[in-house]
Amino acid sequence: MTDSGDTGFKKDMISSVIVGSAESPDPVLERVMESEEDGIHENVVVMESFPVQIRLMGARYIIDELNAMERKRMPGFLE
């Protein structure tokens, strides 16, 4: 991946899998979709599961933000 500007944004991107929330609508998935439209991350893959699992490439700060979001968990669901 090459850096397209002075910010170094592209080279600071990491790959991650984010687990969504067991609610509808899923606030974690909604935040991912918003930030994807803003160009904050790329290569978003939403896997069919419940709760959804979202694979993406993004800046560490957005990955940390998504992981820190409160979410409903399914009983017995392990991460």
pLDDT at 39: 84
**Domains in the chain and their CATH numbers?**
10-68 (3.30.1370)
pLDDT at 10: 60
pLDDT at 30: 95
Low-confidence ranges of the chain (pLDDT < 70): 1-11, 76-79
Long-range CB contacts (within 8 A, 24+) of 65-71:
65/31, 66/18, 66/28, 66/31, 66/32, 67/16, 67/18, 69/21, 69/27, 69/28, 69/31, 70/21, 71/19, 71/20, 71/21, 71/22, 71/23, 71/27, 71/28
pLDDT at 28: 96
pTM: 0.76
